[in-house]
Amino acid sequence: MFTVKAIEIFNHATLDFKKTSEIDQPFINRHNADDHYIESLLYRKSWIDTVQWAYEDIIRNPNIDPQEALDLKRKIDASNQDRTDTVEQLDEYFLEKYSSIKIIESATTNTESPAWALDRLSILELKIYHMNIEANRDDASQTHRQKCISKLSVLMQQRKDLSSAIDELLDEISKGKKYMKTYKQMKMYNDEELNPVLRKNK
């Protein structure tokens, strides 16, 4: 199943990032894009999410320096754009992969594309990773750990359900029972031509 491999890659990216405490460490993809394109995209996707998770933790510090918070906000904005671009690259991969499939007359579209479903799975894996840490924290109370164990159980069920849905979607696309449509996010606030504040100041 595709999601088994995807989850494995997502976890590799998170663990590789966590080898050092440096948040702004250089990105090194363990998968060569020329030989393993989809693997390299999935790895990059998870790396982006893992870095942004760290940013989101820091910016919620109530005592954060305002300038540091502003710098982080801009990093988060850039990360969100990078994330969107990577998801759209993933969808381009799937569009090309299934471009020759004959679509049956009764075929329908899905509520979201394969890549945006994988986006949810990547973030879900981060939730599982961090909730597992909280469920096993030695310095936490038993009540805290039990609550986190309960939440972890729900997240694991979500992983099972979402993985099944993604694999089923890809299977149906491969058989022409579903067909893909992708809609670019068309984010406006990073575009100097579309954001009136940026346009005014360029």
pLDDT digits (tens, 9 = 90+) for 43-79: 999 999 999 999 999 999 999 999 999 999 999 999 9
Query: Which pLDDT band, with edges at 50, 70 and 90, does 100 fall under?
Result: very high
* Centroid of chain to Cα 55: 15
pLDDT at residue 6 greater than cutoff 70: yes
From CA 99, how far away is CA 179, in angstroms rounded? 10
Q: Which residues contact 67 (CB under 8 A, 6 or more apart)?
A: none
Contact 56, 23 (CB under 8 A): no
Q: Please determine, for residue 194, whether its predicted confidence score (pLDDT) is greater than 80.
A: no
Instruction: Say whether pLDDT at 109 is over 80.
Output: yes
- Give the pLDDT of residue 202: 67
Give per-residue pLDDT as tens, 126-181. Answer: 999 999 999 999 999 999 999 999 999 999 999 999 999 999 999 999 999 999 88
Residue 10, Cβ density class (10 Å: 0-12 exposed, 13-18 middle, ≥19 buried): buried
Query: Residue ranges per domain, the chain?
Result: 2-189
192 Cβ partners below 8 Å, 6+ apart?
A: 198, 199, 202
DSSP 30: S
| pLDDT score for 7 | 98
Q: Which residue has the higher pLDDT, 186 or 162?
A: 162
- In this prediction, residues 86-98 reach a mean pLDDT of 95
Q: How confident is the model at residue 36 (pLDDT cuts 50, 70, 90)?
A: very high
Rounded-to-integer distance, Cα 122 and Cα 118, Å: 6
Task: Convert the pLDDT of each residue in 7-28 to its tens digit.
Answer: 999 999 999 999 998 999 999 9
Average pLDDT estimate for 70-98: 95
> How distant, in Å, are the alpha carbons of 4, 46, 175, 190 from that of 104?
28, 34, 8, 39
pLDDT tens digits for 112-122? 999 999 999 99
Residue 15, both tokens: 């663990």
> pLDDT higher for 165 or 191?
165
- For the ranges 94-98, 135-139, 181-185, 196-200, the lowest mean pLDDT is seen at 196-200
Take residue 161 and report the two structure tokens written for it.
């359900």
Rounded to an integer, what distance in angstroms lies between the CA atom of residue 52 and that of residue 120? 14
Q: Give the per-residue pLDDT at 187.
A: 64
On the question of pLDDT at 189 being above 90, the answer is no
Which alpha helices (DSSP H) does 60-191 contain, by range? 66-97, 114-135, 142-174
For 81, list phi and psi in degrees, rounded to 5: -65, -40
Coil, strand, or helix at residue 178?
strand
